[in-house]
Amino acid sequence: ARILASPGEIITAWVLPRHEIRHAIPALLGRILTAVSVAFRLMVSVGPVGCSSLNIACVDKSSYGFAGEKGGSNELEGKWSAEVPESPCLGPGRFAEGAQGTLFRWPRTANVEIRNSSNGFGSNFLSSTMPTVTIKDDGELMQLASSIHTAAANIKAFCETEGLQQPSSSLVPKVPRTLHNAPYFEDRDALLAAAEQLIRLVRGPREHLIALSFEHNATASLQIIMKYSLARHVPLKGTTTYGAIAQAVGKKEVTPALVGRVLEHAATFDLFDVRSGGVVSHNITSSLLVTDPDLESWMEINATVAYPAGAAIVKALETYGYSPEVDEAPFGVSIGRKIGQFEQYREPRADGKRYHEIFARAMKGIGAEGNYDYQHVVDGGYPWHELEKGAGHLVVDIGGGTGHVSVAVAKRYRGLRFEVQDLPETIEMGEQLCPVELKDRIKFRPNDFMTPQTPRRDVQDEGVAYFCRWILHDWSDKYASKILQGLVCALRPQDRIIINEVLVPEPGTDRHKARRVHDGDLLMYMNLNGRERNIGAFEELGKSVTPQLRVHRVHHLTQGALSIIEMIRVDSTL
């Protein structure tokens, strides 16, 4: 799994720790149990036990067979397919875990080929009669191993076809998340999910619980690594020693012994390479903490903010209850102050750095590639051309940071104009970073999204799209509705609100994907008393603002973890 995951994803996987919560009222408890069920495998998927072979008893003259496609409660890696002339369907059947199969009949003389493109889920057969099927269960262990083998073979074949080097410990191929490359990422996700499930299966429930209890130790090492910039004191080429790193840091508390303990622990997570004699060097993962400053900012924000907030979650509950107030979140409790995270970010730091700048870079870092790549907004299937060719030409990027998403969309859709809104200090950074060739189409305006939008007088009949990426999830319903209210007061029938966020899946769906979502949900709670939402929660949020606001349509982007939810007025002309 570490070979297949990119180095950036290995690092960011560290920043979403799961914490025990002992005291929670039911509303919070539901969120906690959903996240815990993903990690502990408390929920059982609906569907029959998978089979690895089919024994057919033939007693007639007709020809029958099964053909299956993805479906049911779980997706099947690969699928059965049948090339059959005149094949009337006799009815549905099941032939693998959660997958739907269909029984076909065709003339005995027909030229029929049935293929199974996924090893371990069944045997090819062509019967001269209605088959009597006996399921032989090879067990979950072999099914998972087979799934891993199949997905790995598919990835190998993809890399060979595309002329890419196969994933290895020293290199991960650069594969853009495009529609053309979708099969690669489908197999990649399938392999990662099966690998994690296989590890849990082999460990057993008791050892799995114990291993889970140790996960916070990884965050402890990372806090020290980020706090003292240990990665920046290791040369990108060559080696150094624990003593040399401690000397370069120049803090009395950072001794060679401490450096050694921390880096040797980090190396067990494939972060740095350590050798006997106190020698250390970078590997492909740890080098990103030097070569990718945006990703480094994401890691720093989590090490200095999210981890301490997670440790304070129970104390915050005992102090404030399950509060919607941003200044009563675990973050404030962790620093001993009744203050909201974003308010604190505007204060100067003792080391001279500015939190708001680090946060802006962090948002760019987490969105640079992988499941949260902002390029998915461009290539993921949202119909920006409707705005470009229709009446809506202006996109207002609410809380848009330095404008990196607007820049990406503007490069592809030249008929759109953009206005990026954020706090003054962030807007100043955005104006400096905006490409010269886009400055005539991307403008920057200081604005607090907790205040109402000024009605547009510069667009006349032109439609406006208010774009909110990763904004509402930072806030409880109380404040998310206030943000929407500020947009609604300026929303006309030809306007729309475009929300780009994660949609919480229904319980029982893919645990590998669901865990990322519920990790993020708890991260929002720890930092800001915010939350991730399902589509029902977005609908209720709109109604709480005004009955005139409704969800118009939902776009599940073809790549990545985020979706796009459109909201419009009930009297919309769209």
Among 265, 393, 404, 473, the one annotated catalytic: 473
Provide CATH code, domain 1-18+215-291: 1.10.10.10
DSSP β-ladder status, 240-241 and 279-281: antiparallel
Q: Which helix (H) or strand (E) holds 394?
A: strand 392-398
pLDDT of residue 370: 73
Give domain limits for the chain: 1-18+215-291, 141-206, 367-569
CA distance 418 to 63: 62
CB 377, CB 555: distance < 8 Å: no
Query: Which uninterrupted H or E stretch holds 254?
Result: none
CA trace torsion 303, 306, 311, 314 (10° rounding): 180
Q: Residue 35: name the closest of 507, 524, 370 by CA.
A: 507
What backbone torsions phi and psi does residue 366 show, to the nearest 5 degrees?
-70, -20
Q: Strand pairing of 132-136 and 240-241?
A: unpaired
The pTM of the full predicted model, rounded to 2 decimals, is 0.72
Round to whole Å and give the CA distance between 529 and 569: 28
SS3 content of the chain, % helix, strand, coil (to 5): 45, 20, 40
282 part of the active site: no
Domain covering 367-569 assigned CATH 3.40.50.150 in the classification: yes
pLDDT of the residue at 17: 39
> Distance between CA 469 and CA 407 in Å, rounded?
14
Q: Which two tokens stand for residue 532?
A: 């991730």
The whole-angstrom separation of Cα 489 and Cα 456 is 11
What pLDDT score does 129 carry? 43
Query: Could you tell me if 32 and 25 are in contact, meaning their C-beta atoms sit under 8 angstroms apart?
Result: no
Core vs surface per residue 421-455: b (16+ CB within 10 A) or e: bbbeebbebbeeebeeeeeebbbbeebebeeebee
Same fold yes or no, 1-18+215-291 and 367-569: no
Distance of CA 344 to the CA centre of its chain: 26
Give dist(CA 420, CA 435) in Å, integer: 14
Are 329 and 316 contacting, i.e. CB atoms less than 8 angstroms apart? Answer: yes
How far is residue 272's CA from residue 211's CA, in Å, rounded to a whole number? 22
DSSP state of 553: E
Give the per-residue SS3 of 303-317.
Answer: HHHHHHHHHCHHHHH
Cβ contacts of 122 within 8 Å, gap of 6 or more:
51, 52, 53, 54, 66, 80, 95, 96, 116
> What is the structure's pLDDT at 126?
40
Distance CA 393, CA 465 (A): 8
Tokens at 324, concatenated? 């919607």
State the chain's maximal CA–CA distance in angstroms: 87
Q: Are 97 and 50 in contact (CB under 8 A)?
A: yes
CB 158 within 8 A of CB 188: no
| Cβ atoms within 10 Å of 320's Cβ, excluding its own | 18
Q: What is the pLDDT along the chain (574 residues), one digit of tens a residue?
A: 444 555 555 444 444 433 333 334 445 555 555 555 544 433 322 223 233 333 223 223 334 444 444 333 333 333 333 333 444 444 444 444 444 444 444 444 444 444 433 333 333 334 444 444 333 456 889 999 999 999 999 999 999 999 998 898 888 888 887 778 889 988 998 999 999 999 999 999 999 999 999 988 889 999 999 999 999 999 999 999 999 999 999 999 999 999 999 999 999 999 999 999 999 999 999 999 999 999 999 999 999 899 999 999 999 999 999 999 999 999 999 999 999 998 988 888 777 677 778 888 888 888 777 778 888 888 877 899 888 876 668 999 999 999 999 999 999 999 999 999 999 989 999 999 999 999 999 999 999 999 999 888 878 778 899 999 999 999 999 999 999 999 999 999 999 999 999 999 888 777 888 888 999 999 999 999 999 999 999 999 999 999 999 999 999 887 778 899 999 999 888 8
User: Do 390 and 463 touch, CB atoms closer than 8 A?
Assistant: yes
